[in-house]
Amino acid sequence: MTELELKYGCNPNQKPARIYMEDGELPLEVLNGRPGYINFMDALNSWQLVKALKKATGLPAAASFKHVSPAGAALGLPLNDTERLMYLAPEGDLSPIACAYIRARGADRLCSFGDWAALSDTCDGDTARFLAGEVSDGVIAPDYTAEALEILKAKRKGGYNVVKIDPDYVPAPIERRSIFGITFEQGYNDLAIDESMLENVVTKAKRLPHDAKNDMLLALITLKYTQSNSVCYVKDGMTIGVGAGQQSRIHCTRLAGSKADVWWLRQHPWVLELQFAGGVRRPDRDNAIDLYIADSAAFTQGDAWKRLFKVRPKELTPSLKTQWLSKLTGVTLGSDAFFPFGDNVERAHQSGVQYIAQPGGSIRDDQVIETADKYGMVMAFTGMRLFHH
């Protein structure tokens, strides 16, 4: 047995705390810092997500985790000019793995504040330099370049958490956990998510382009490691809204949809043109943008805006927001369990959803399919539930 003692568990009063293996050596190494209980829960869940994404798509993948659910996940596709601006990305060429993490964090920068980063590929200098400028608790990756390690070890006065994971590690087929002194046992969820799960298209519209299939795989794999109930909106190889841990399916769909709407509104020309005052930090920018999008009229009343902006922002009225949101199209939605009613599809349509992947199996599947057909959506029944607790 090998073990790593932790400062405490989920809360400071929960002592002692450790991670350990009954047999063999721990498949990870702490290269810097002192990760805690929740850090390792985020690290191990997020690593499984990015490893599965890389296997399913063949592309580098990254995730930004908070409290054992992803704030964002993305594939390593190049950043366009708009993405560079809205994600606060550096200029110049960037490696695919750096692009993957910048996009994963950019999915919901507000929720990614103080995140745990996961990388499917070696952490390089590009990725480390971006991480160095963000508020983050730690990172897990299969390896680190010497340059990246030097940069990360200097972060947070030398206390930034850096974990190296063995990419070839395979967990035991049976997993156990203890709740209230009682041990639970189940088989490890080794379900492989690939294109074969997308073959049962049940709507009148049947065409699934390659990019849409990748987005479906991204949505489903993200849901596999998101606290249930969960729904995920994806566009162009990145999550744009994740609704986790809700008690009803429609609330998942609404929550994730509202996040997708904010992601799209952040691309409105007036948001991109916001002129921040000198010295305004990245987290303050993110908060200001969120408040501006929520209610720009209230946010710019009085003189409070002068602390953040060089000039008073324009008023982004509800009608202007509605007009801009109508331009959001080509979105993919995944659900970890079936849609019990067509209202979920109606809400998804409001956020530009064109493709849906869900298990199917509701007694009202006909109603759900009929609603999807009304909007010309393509919906695949995967036949597999993806609950995660």
Cα separations in angstroms, 92 against 62, 76, 78, 151, 267: 20, 16, 11, 19, 21
- Please provide the DSSP assignment of 11-37 as one string: STTS-SEEEEESSS--SEEEEES---H
Nearest to 211 by CA among 96, 377, 331, 107: 331
The mean per-residue pLDDT over the stretch 355-359 comes to 97
| pLDDT at residue number 299 | 83
Contact (Cβ atoms closer than 8 angstroms) between residue 103 and residue 251: no
Q: How many other β-carbons are positioned within 10 Å of the β-carbon of residue 33?
A: 20
Of 76-90, 279-293, 302-316, give the lowest mean pLDDT range: 302-316
Residue 137 has phi, psi (to 5 degrees) of -90, -30
In 16-169, at which residue ranges do the beta strands (DSSP E only) sit? 17-21, 28-32, 61-66, 69-75, 115-119, 136-141, 161-165
Contact (Cβ atoms closer than 8 angstroms) between residue 151 and residue 128: yes
Q: For the packed helices 318-325 and 249-265, what is the interaxial angle rounded to 10 degrees?
A: 100
| pLDDT at residue number 1 | 52
| pLDDT at residue number 307 | 86
Task: State how far the Cα of 21 lies from the Cα of 9, in Å rounded to an integer.
Answer: 17
- DSSP letter, residue 123: B
CATH number, domain 273-315, options 1.10.1760, 1.10.287, 3.30.1460, 3.30.70? 1.10.287
- DSSP letter, residue 227: P
Label residue 302 by pLDDT band (50, 70, 90): confident
47 has pLDDT over 70: yes
The superfamily CATH assigns to domain 2-165 is AICAR transformylase, duplication domain (3.40.140.20)
Task: State how far the Cα of 246 lies from the Cα of 243, in Å rounded to an integer.
Answer: 7
189 has pLDDT over 90: yes
| pLDDT at residue number 304 | 75
265 has pLDDT over 80: yes
User: Same topology for domains 2-165 and 193-265+328-381, yes or no?
Assistant: yes
| pLDDT at residue number 301 | 81
The mean per-residue pLDDT over the stretch 311-333 comes to 94
Catalytic residue positions? Answer: 66-67, 229, 389
| pLDDT at residue number 297 | 86
Name the average pLDDT for the chain: 94
Report residue 86 as tokens.
């809205």
Report residue 224 as tokens.
């596999």
The mean per-residue pLDDT over the stretch 277-302 comes to 89
The mean per-residue pLDDT over the stretch 118-140 comes to 97
Domain 193-265+328-381 class, CATH top level? alpha beta
Q: How many CA atoms lie within 13 A of 101 on its CB side?
A: 32
Q: What percent of the chain has pLDDT over 70?
A: 100
Domain ranges of the chain: 2-165, 193-265+328-381, 273-315
- Span 199-209, pLDDT tens digits: 999 999 999 99
- Better-predicted residue by pLDDT, 23 or 357: 357
